[in-house]
Amino acid sequence: MTPIEEQNTQGNHPWVMLETPAELEGWMELHNQELQKLIGDQGAQQMAQGQGICLNLTHGGEIYFHTNSDGDVLLDVTEEATWVAPVISACTNVAPPKGQIWLLPQHVLMQLLMGLNPLIASSRLVVKHIYRLHR
């Protein structure tokens, strides 16, 4: 296992309820800085490999998310987390996709995270996630 892969598997951070958009922006900035430190110089090379954050949900399942080069939000909602699809749709005003991969415009990220806020148990940084685009 490489140092990056090893760091990718390190622990979850317990979720702390974010009460305001300012707290959410601070959380996002902190995680962005931590992710940049984690990936270091390899960041540009690995951009297509799915660096981002994994949210572990309180009622089961995970949501992996990162932003693409256009600033859009790519979500991979695991099978165990399909129960959260109506929440994602309600927060973003986007219909569920046919598969488990969601492509959302950047401007809905804040609403999405505020809506998911009470449903998140923990989070962790992810430096390599292969999105299952063909399902």
Q: What is the pLDDT of residues 111-130, one digit of tens each?
A: 999 999 999 999 988 877 77
Q: What is the pLDDT of residues 32-88, one digit of tens each?
A: 888 778 777 554 554 446 788 899 999 999 999 888 878 889 999 999 999 999 999
- Cα 71 to Cα 84: distance, rounded to the nearest angstrom: 23
- For residue 49, the model assigns a pLDDT of 60
- DSSP structure string for 6-49: HHHTSPPEEP----SHHHHHHHHHHHHHHHHHHHGGGHHHHGGG
Q: Please tell me the pTM assigned to this model.
A: 0.80
Tell me if 41 sits within 8 A of 127, measured CB to CB.
Answer: no
Encode burial over 121-131: b for 16+ CB neighbours within 10 A, e otherwise: eebbbbbebeb
